[in-house]
Copies of this chain bind each other. A is one copy, B any other.
């Protein structure tokens, strides 16, 4: 059986659980591995679990009127489906691994009990939800008002600084998914990346990216 108490990548919330609660957690959760491309949970399915992303990277996405929309990229460690568990019984979005990933599924009833009986646990879940909301507002406001080059510049900087901690990285999304994330077509993504490459702002080899001039990217991002 897995050991949650000594897990090195506990959530901020789980750090507040006591001995007894850890035992409950351990016997009411399972850890599952997913490969890049695997679906972790699916829009419109019923949820009975809270998903906690222990390692790897995931896209949260949902069906839009004309195509798929990527809501947000999540890097481990992080909860994946709190809104999808407590906002409605049915998932309003899907989660798909974009890197090899391991996820702990926690029985929603026990998770709920932690919220009800452990104030610190609940408080950490709330701050987590709040921070996500603020991030989302920030991102949607930018995407809403920036033109495509600005959105791509944003995204590249975010990937480097928030997701990979490195200016060289393997893009975890293909051009079409990049389009779904920032709200444009795969062709436009392609064109702008080529342009950035020609202007030596980035070095591009299909999906391997090196950001050569982060400051210039930031400038493009700010100008919209």
Q: State how many residues of chain A have any CB contact under 8 Å with chain B.
A: 49
Inter-subunit contact A145/B115 (CB<8 Å): no
Inter-subunit contact B129/A222 (CB<8 Å): no
Inter-subunit contact A82/B116 (CB<8 Å): no
Q: Which of B123, B130, B136, B183 contacts A82 (CB 8 A)?
A: B130
Inter-subunit contact B222/A145 (CB<8 Å): no
Interface majority SS (helix, strand, loop, mixed), chain A:
helix
Taken together, the copies of this chain in the complex come to 2
B-contact bits for A83-119, CB 8 A (1 contact / 0 none): 1111110001100000000000000000010011111
Docked pose: A63 CA to B181 CA in angstroms:
22
Q: Which of B64, B84, B142 contacts A65 (CB 8 A)?
A: B142
On chain B, the residues within 8 Å of A140 by CB distance are: 69, 71, 136, 140
Please give the distance in Å from A149's CB to the nearest CB on chain B. 13
Q: Which residues from chain A sit less than 8 Å from chain B, CB to CB?
A: 62-67, 69, 71, 82-88, 92-93, 112, 115-120, 122-123, 125-127, 129-134, 136-138, 140-146, 150, 183, 222, 224
- 6 CB < 8 A contacts A-B: A65-B222, A71-B141, A83-B133, A87-B131, A87-B134, A145-B183
Question: Could you list 10 further interchain pairs (A-B, Cβ under 8 angstroms) beyond the known A69-B140, A115-B122?
Answer: A63-B141, A64-B141, A64-B144, A65-B142, A65-B224, A82-B130, A86-B130, A122-B126, A133-B133, A136-B140
